[in-house]
Structure 1
Amino acid sequence: MLQSVFLPKRMKSSERIRSAIEEDIRTGNLLPGDSIDEQEIAARFQVSRTPVREALLQLKIQGLLLSQPRAGMVVAKMDLQELLAIWELLAEMEGVCTRLACQRMTPAERAELQQIHTDAHAIVQADDADGWREANHAFHDVLYRGCRNPYLRQELLQLRARTGAYLRHAFSAVGRIKASYEQHEELLQAILENNPERAHQMMMQHISLAQGARGLADFLINIPKSMVKG
């Protein structure tokens, strides 16, 4: 009887819905300010409104959704001060994650990271923004898993979801694909050389918004006004 407590549980409907909506926000299928249709979500997952509302409440607590009078739930917008504060925190956490991953990744995970980077070369040559977003996500996800800290990974995924739409618009507009790929190259080399401090430093530079005053100015200019609160 006691052994059954330790058996893996099937994911609740509300958790599946929460995870799917979070992913839609991260990838830009849902943008800041977009409304959430409870009926459409219930039909999509073939459930009643109850687990949908549970999922939306969880996302509201996370700060990803906002309840508006007579408008229901919408994807939360951020002002520039909030966005820069969260991105500053994200850079620190990504740096820690990368240092831990460099110390803890298996040879198979290092090989996976190297293969993702190699495969991304053609995407960069084609200046394929959509392809690069997927390759970039895959590259970082290997590091998130490789750090062997599920709590850190979960926090990173949530911060990425909150900032993803803003960064995608801004960095696509200023053409940072080639620069990001080159930074991944430096990161990869530090990891393959088992140099955690160098890997940490490279990640902090990679995630930094500024990259100099011009970089920060370009970032701010290219955020669509419709996505900014206020």
Structure 2
Amino acid sequence: MAQKSDIEWTDATWNPVTGCTKVGPGCDNCYAERFAERWRGISGHPYEQGFDLTLWPSRLKQPVLWKKPRMIFVNSMSDLFHKDIDRTFIDAVFDAMEQADWHVYQVLTKRSSLMRNYVRKRYHGGPVPRHIWLGVSVEDAAHASRIEHLKQINSDARFISFEPLLGPVGNVDLHGVAWAIVGGESGPRARPMDESWVRQIRDMCGRDDVAFFFKQWGGARPKSGGRLLDGEEWNGFPWQIVPEPIIRALQPEDA
């Protein structure tokens, strides 16, 4: 587990799975693939296998060993609901998250129907534990159906990552979503993001009472375009869904 993450909306990353395959245009310039493939064939490196889908059972015990509460992005280098990951391994990941329940886990997927179906079965239609946040990645209107799958999950801790935002998402109902993160693409082939697309999401968040976080404009590097929207930073965070025993450890003193 990383002790620190450079991702603005989390504290750390935990990767019991690495590697993935592409499922849409948001995957075209995948940062994780670009990073992992740099090390393919380097003997002994954690990414010796490049971006091939790989399960890491040895990492399942990491969260319980980390005693200080953190926001943990689960599988920043993969997708937990990839069709080739056996259900028993997903069970083991959820078991680990339930055991180390002093952390908040952020599970993000593009395979939204598979996530919905899994959590419905695991919790028998009941609520997902509040410290396990479930999210979907949506890059444009063509993939907005992932939001409806997310809303069909029994959870107060639903979130959406509109990153990389590649087009307008249209007028979507965000009621029941706690948090929206928006960001432009970064890297050598970064596609531009239009200001109107971001404003539309910001305004829908205001309308539907969703915390709005604007991460970056993107460009050749993540920070190339800065992160100001209409002259200000937008750092919305859904404190209302953080379990009470965790909130004091996570919340900054001036929040």
Task: Pick the TM interval, shorter chain.
Answer: under 0.3
TM-score by length of 2: 0.23
TM-score by length of 1: 0.25
Looking at secondary structure, tell me which structure has more strand per residue: 2
User: Using CA pairs below 8 Å that are at least 6 residues apart, which structure has the higher relative contact order?
Assistant: 1
Larger Rg: 1
